[in-house]
Chains A and B, each alone.
Chain A
Amino acid sequence: MTMIDIQNTSKSYGPTKALQSLTLTVQPGEVLGLLGPNGAGKTTTIHILAGFLQPDSGSVVIDGVDVVQDPDEARRRIGYIPENVALYPFLSACENLRHFAALAEIEFSKSEATERLVHAGLASSAIDRRVSTFSKGMRQKVGIAIANSKDAKALILDEPASGLDPHASHELSMLVRKVADDGAAVLMATHDLFRAKETCDRVVILRGGKLVQQLDPQSMSANDLENIYLEEMQVNG
């Protein structure tokens, strides 16, 4: 069964067409990378999937639930990680995770929350620290733990590795891969072609709100992927 199903979806901001009849699907266990320059429509796609924005036309379905018709139910089935994970600065990592999990009606004991944070890659010494002292990488890890707290069937990531150092970025890729291997469908918007090749089963290239290319990154080298991407930008630019 298709987990994420976007059909002929369009969205405009005034005269600007952010998405034009976009159609794409993500299967359980698959990581789909959304590539494209700034303004290509990646974040708009993510926001429509998360129910933050309503499409002008088309359908968006997650695990059989129409996002437009029933956004609350659709949100229960997704985990979401933005480019910059925002947390309550006066709470510790553990308290943040327990709070966000509780919003999804999941109660974690302190030890369960700790275990999940460690699993997300956060150092155990940081678990009880206020997140206001955290680096971006540490916050992203808490964000992953939060997104995973629901054991969601679909994970939506909006440039999650942006601003992370290579090590943290690699760790993040491994975590995403693991989530997908556990059966979740993952849609990940990114600028990082190398990381896309490392993580994704399939990538699509967006330009001006349109899907212009679909590729299997595992069947090509990182250089080939970069060349195709740059070529696509030039052709369509």
Chain B
Amino acid sequence: MIARFFRLELRAICGDGRVVALVSIALVTLIISVWIGVNNQSTTAKGRADAVEVAREQWESIENLSAHAVAHYGSFVYKPNGALAMLDSGVMPFTGKVLRVEAHVQNPPAHSDASTWSSLVRLGAFDAGIILAQIIPLLLAFTAFSSVARDREAGLLRMLIAQGVSMRTVLLGKALAYWALALLFLAALVSAQVIFDVMAGSTYTGDTLARLMMFSGSHAIHLLIVVLGSVWISARIADARSALAVLTIAWLGATVLMPRMTAQLGSQLFPLDSQVQFEDGMKEDRAQGLDGHDPADERRNELLAKILADYGVDEVSELPVNVGGLLMQADEDYGNLVWDEHFGSRHEVVRNQIGVVQAASFLNPFLAVRGLSMAFAGTDQFHDAQFQRQAEDYRRELVLILNDLDAKAGSRGEDGRWTREKVDYSAIADFRFQPQTTGFALSHRWPELVSLLLWLGLSVALLSTRANRIPVVGAGR
């Protein structure tokens, strides 16, 4: 019986020229946005590959420099775009893509995409994730607002109910028809994504496919919640015009006002230091530690005495190692502790801010789907923090190797002077970003998933148990 109403509503939708025009425009926009996204992705990926190649060539061409000098010279690491980043760019356009790795300093990622955007791009920037979470629901509201109210005003609803069919059946059939329309957008989007991607030479791993499925599933559930809500409001509100007004206000509140208010609340409750404050704090704490470069530094000299005692010698010139490398590594180890504490605190603040949004997602499914959409596209704050974490791990490993080479790659002459060996720096591996799995995304975004499933359950329960309270005839009749 539900299928019967599903088919009829779908036929009614297809017979409405305005809806067909709206849907066609939205579909074309969606596919163009995917195409632009894939193109941008290809261009960015090519630019990144070129930059990586140049940086590597520069690294491998290093000659006649000490390991210590090379540690200061440093290298660059580049943030790769996730395989599905063009579906939902998330926070990535606003975070840096390039990070200089060098000894003693933990640089922040620099050169975000947004920093190069013109004001026009800022106004027009949207991607499939935003279209699916924000624009398609508005389109659904504009098409479904009259789905029940129209039938009630025309008297069709009372004829249907008089035949003995339940209101629940009518509402579910209608909602499923609008959901099918929504799934058409989703299918078009995912198909276009895969086709354009394959044409651009991309390959999909199992995890990418899993992410794509979770991305699609999250949006499909959200869109189902939207259509169930839209049909419910169309049924509850006395006339179609009022239903449209209520749905438009609900859309504005859910997708424009509440996300901004929630973000503001998160920032108020858990204020985040600026980058300057973060760097100043790091500098201040590092000043409490050992300075490997300052011969007058008290801690440095204490460590030097310990090294001499460990090796059972009295003078630096008697050490079988270059003490500079050991001191530098000690300096580095202390700096690493400072960074861990500061970055950890900063990350904790961000986590708390996200926690506020996650809690608010139980009041607003749009917030839930935004979080899930970014997470499964691999572009949320958690994924970004992983790049910073891996880049820092690489920096530490690189500096450790270089300090070790500085300390040990050489020999001490009869005159007590340390002579460095020539080092082949090309043997040191380049940075390789390890992408996170779908499980990683789920482990951080389960509150949004629970929220979305609860919203779905609530919507279905509302339609199933409260449908008999829907007025069959207009007010006063």
Q: Does B bind A?
A: yes
Binding site for B on A (CB under 8 A): 13, 43-44, 47, 50-53, 71-72, 75-76, 78-80, 82, 84-88, 90-91, 99-105, 143, 146, 150
Asked whether, in the complex, the Cβ of A75 is within 8 Å of the Cβ of B476, the reply is no
Decide yes or no whether B217 CB sits under 8 A from chain A: no
Q: Which residue on chain A has the smallest CB distance to residue B169? A: A103
Decide yes or no whether B164 CB sits under 8 A from chain A: yes
Q: Determine chain A's interface SS by DSSP, over half rule.
A: mixed
Q: Which residue on chain A has the smallest CB distance to residue B153? A: A86
A104-B164 in contact given A13-B476, A43-B477, A90-B11 (Cβ < 8 Å)? yes
- Which A residues are in CB contact (< 8 Å) with B160? 100, 103
Please report the C-alpha to C-alpha distance between residue A100 and residue B477 in the assembled complex, in whole angstroms: 23
Asked whether, in the complex, the Cβ of A52 is within 8 Å of the Cβ of B163, the reply is no
Q: Determine chain B's interface SS by DSSP, over half rule.
A: helix
Asked whether, in the complex, the Cβ of B159 is within 8 Å of the Cβ of A100, the reply is yes
Contact pattern, B 1-29, Cβ under 8 Å of A = 1, otherwise 0? 10010001001100100000000000000
B128-184 contacts to A (CB < 8 Å)? 151, 154-156, 158-166
Please report the C-alpha to C-alpha distance between residue A91 and residue B11 in the assembled complex, in whole angstroms: 10
Say how far B160's CB is from chain A's closest CB, in angstroms: 6
Say how far B469's CB is from chain A's closest CB, in angstroms: 10
Binding site for A on B (CB under 8 A): 1, 4, 8, 11-12, 15, 151, 154-156, 158-166, 468, 472-473, 476-477
- Which A residues are in CB contact (< 8 Å) with B161? 50-52, 75
Please report the C-alpha to C-alpha distance between residue A91 and residue B12 in the assembled complex, in whole angstroms: 10
Please report the C-alpha to C-alpha distance between residue A82 and residue B472 in the assembled complex, in whole angstroms: 13
Q: How many Cβ-Cβ contacts under 8 Å join chain A to chain B? A: 73
A88-B156 in contact given A50-B162, A78-B162, A146-B163 (Cβ < 8 Å)? yes
Known: A75-B162, A79-B162, A103-B1. 11 other contacts (CB 8 A): A47-B473, A52-B158, A80-B158, A82-B155, A86-B156, A86-B158, A88-B12, A90-B15, A100-B163, A103-B165, A105-B164
Residue among A52, A53, A146 facing the most chain B CB atoms (10 A cut-off): A52
Asked whether, in the complex, the Cβ of B159 is within 8 Å of the Cβ of A80, the reply is yes
- Which A residues are in CB contact (< 8 Å) with B162? 50, 75, 78-80
Asked whether, in the complex, the Cβ of B163 is within 8 Å of the Cβ of A50, the reply is no
Asked whether, in the complex, the Cβ of A150 is within 8 Å of the Cβ of B12, the reply is no
Q: Which residue on chain B has the smallest CB distance to residue A74? A: B164
A104-B163 in contact given A13-B476, A52-B473, A99-B8 (Cβ < 8 Å)? yes
- Which B residues are in CB contact (< 8 Å) with A85? 155, 159
Please report the C-alpha to C-alpha distance between residue A105 and residue B169 in the assembled complex, in whole angstroms: 13
Please report the C-alpha to C-alpha distance between residue A103 and residue B163 in the assembled complex, in whole angstroms: 6
Q: Could you pull out 21 A-B pairs where Cβ atoms are within 8 angstroms? A: A13-B476, A50-B158, A50-B161, A50-B162, A52-B161, A71-B468, A75-B161, A75-B163, A80-B162, A82-B159, A84-B155, A85-B155, A86-B155, A88-B8, A99-B4, A99-B8, A100-B163, A103-B4, A103-B164, A103-B165, A105-B164
